[in-house]
């Protein structure tokens, strides 16, 4: 215990593992899933899971901005608000990710939970996603990605909503409070039509998973002392960490565990434990070769798109959104139309 407290890097890893296990348990029990919520709504009009995701957005935004305002963390230190972000490529990446998650019938995070339940389909999705993300970030596709991002890079006076409000003369604190307040009002308005369909597990899943986002900021930025070896302030995000987790399994002697990697492992472990305790673990495969192909293509699109979009439905829809980063709103603006397009194509 003394070693844990005295070693920030180790503390962050243990904190990330615990955070991931909590996500795995609650995600398995509540069926928390952004794409599932959208597909439920589009196919049958049921809004329970969609409401749960909106609750998570509310909690993640409020908790993260409280940490930022009181000075525990500086959310401007995250990669979502990096001045070098190629804003024009983010919506494109989001659209590719949205197409992929609908084809695969689950985003990367939900696939981790389903893998813990015994889904071989999710294993294929995760392998495809991880390989594509690695190829796009540092592999054979990386030179093309860099050229596209450089060609589409646009200079911006700010990278967050508060910075945009500050151009109108508002002080930083006032701009942050006003931007957060406006988004809370918008989210509450979006939540109201979903209330009648929301079950207790939708509420519980949204509340707990939303809380895990500021918990991630606190673990890496406060509990870990923002150690230089951790590279950057971070919280829940899964595209690159899924790729890193596969790399660590193969090259552990030459790499180091990271916060995102242990979160990934923790989710699978937590979901597996919950599935075994509730007798929900079942080996499940594919019903057809077409389903197998969709899993591969969906995973590849999520890997490629997630790197361009700087995150996934959780990484941008919750974590990035909680920072008020413009890139997150653009990613969300790409993910939802991409998912809708894939849904309509599959409906024929």
Tokens 């709504």 map to which residue?
41
The per-residue pLDDT for range 313-332, each reduced to its tens digit, is 999 999 999 999 999 999 99
The per-residue pLDDT for range 85-125, each reduced to its tens digit, is 788 899 999 999 999 999 999 999 999 999 999 999 999 99
CA atoms within 13 A on the CB side of 140: 2
The per-residue pLDDT for range 159-205, each reduced to its tens digit, is 899 998 998 888 989 999 999 999 999 999 999 999 999 999 999 99
Tokens 């302030």 map to which residue?
233
The pLDDT of 30-42, averaged and rounded, is: 93
The per-residue pLDDT for range 47-92, each reduced to its tens digit, is 999 999 999 999 999 999 999 999 999 998 898 988 777 888 999 9
Average pLDDT over the chain, rounded to an integer: 91
Give yes or no for residue 44 having a pLDDT over 80.
yes
pLDDT at 225: 63
79: its two tokens: 């990669």
For residue 169, the tally of other CB atoms under 10 A from its CB is 8
> Which DSSP symbol is given to 315?
I
Q: Could you tell me which of 331, 292, 299 has the C-alpha nearest to residue 315?
A: 331
In this prediction, residue 231 has a pLDDT band, given cuts at 50, 70 and 90, of: low
> Which DSSP symbol is given to 236?
S
Cβ-based burial of 226 (10 A; exposed 0-12, middle 13-18, buried ≥19): middle
pLDDT at 292: 95
The pLDDT of 39-49, averaged and rounded, is: 92
The pLDDT of 258-287, averaged and rounded, is: 95
Cα–Cα distance measured from residue 31 to residue 56, given in angstroms and rounded to the nearest whole number: 13
In this prediction, residue 6 has a pLDDT band, given cuts at 50, 70 and 90, of: low
pTM of the model: 0.93
Cβ-based burial of 213 (10 A; exposed 0-12, middle 13-18, buried ≥19): buried
pLDDT at 223: 78
pLDDT at 9: 82
- Higher model confidence: residue 323 or residue 2? 323
Rounded to 10 degrees, the C-alpha dihedral 45/46/49/52 comes to 90
């Amino acid at each position: 215990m003394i070693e844990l407290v005295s070693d920030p890097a180790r503390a962050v890893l243990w904190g990330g593992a615990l955070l991931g296990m909590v996500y795995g348990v609650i995600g398995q029990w509540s069926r928390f899933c952004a794409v599932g919520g959208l597909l439920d709504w589009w196919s049958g009009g049921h809004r329970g899971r969609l409401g749960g995701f909106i609750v998570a957005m509310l909690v993640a935004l409020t908790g993260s901005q409280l940490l930022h305002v009181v000075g525990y963390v500086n959310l401007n230190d995250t990669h979502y608000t990096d001045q070098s972000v190629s804003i024009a490529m983010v919506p494109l990446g989001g659209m590719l990710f949205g197409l992929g998650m609908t084809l695969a019938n689950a985003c990367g995070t939900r696939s981790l939970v389903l893998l813990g339940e015994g889904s071989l389909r999710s294993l294929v999705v995760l392998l495809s996603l991880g390989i594509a993300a690695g190829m796009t970030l540092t592999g054979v596709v990386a030179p093309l990605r860099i050229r596209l991002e450089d060609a589409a890079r646009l200079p911006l006076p700010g990278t967050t909503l508060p910075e945009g409000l500050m151009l109108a003369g508002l002080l930083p604190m006032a701009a942050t409070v006003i931007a957060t307040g406006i988004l809370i009002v918008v989210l509450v308005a979006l939540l109201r039509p979903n209330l009648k369909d929301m079950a207790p597990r939708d509420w519980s899943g949204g509340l707990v998973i939303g809380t895990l986002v500021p918990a991630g900021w606190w673990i890496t930025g406060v509990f870990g002392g923002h150690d230089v070896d951790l590279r950057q302030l971070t919280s829940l995000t899964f595209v690159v960490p899924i790729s890193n987790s596969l790399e660590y399994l193969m090259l552990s002697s030459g790499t180091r565990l990271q916060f995102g990697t242990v979160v990934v492992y923790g989710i699978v472990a937590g979901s597996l434990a919950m599935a075994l305790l509730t007798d929900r673990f079942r080996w499940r495969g594919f019903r057809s070769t077409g389903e197998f192909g969709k899993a591969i293509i969906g995973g590849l699109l999520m890997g490629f798109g997630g790197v361009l979009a700087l995150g996934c439905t959780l990484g941008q829809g919750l974590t990035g959104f909680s920072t008020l980063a413009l890139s997150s709103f653009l990613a969300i603006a790409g993910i939802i139309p991409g998912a809708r397009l894939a849904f309509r194509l599959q409906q024929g």
